Amino acid sequence: DEEYINGVREEYRQRRNYVCDRVAAIDGIACTMPAAGMFVMVRIDQAGVDGLQFAQGLLQDKGVSVLPGAGFGECTRDYVRVSLAQPINVLRPAFDRIEAYCQQLSNKHT
């Protein structure tokens, strides 16, 4: 069904844009907007930890789950993967906690 597919595509586009805008506003992390897909790879090396440490700490301290990039190869060691499977009303509080966690990391390293 073309109408359904277009609706899903638009929903994922909005989620992608939301995630990328939120990432851009948070010190210590960055991303490149993907052209398509269900995930955004977020670079976290400026946060002072690698992807595994970031993912573990974020889950433990803030209850937000992201996937460490190291599972995709050494070149993504300093990344985490954020899923776009959740609606924006779920992503919004998750990114509030991600932002708080990045601030917490920044305070530790200054």
Tell me: the pLDDT tens digits for 27-81?
999 999 999 999 999 999 999 999 999 999 999 999 999 999 999 999 999 999 9
pLDDT of residue 110: 64
**What value, to the nearest 5°, has the Cα angle with vertex 31 and ends 30 and 35?**
165
| Overall residue count recorded for the chain in this entry | 110
The pLDDT of residue 109 is above 80: no
CB 76 within 8 A of CB 70: yes
Q: Which two tokens stand for residue 92?
A: 């919004």
Instruction: Give, in order, the Cα–Cα distances in Å from 94 to each of 22, 38, 66.
Output: 11, 17, 10
* C-alpha span between 28 and 91 (Å, rounded): 19
The mean pLDDT of 6-34, rounded to a whole number, is 96
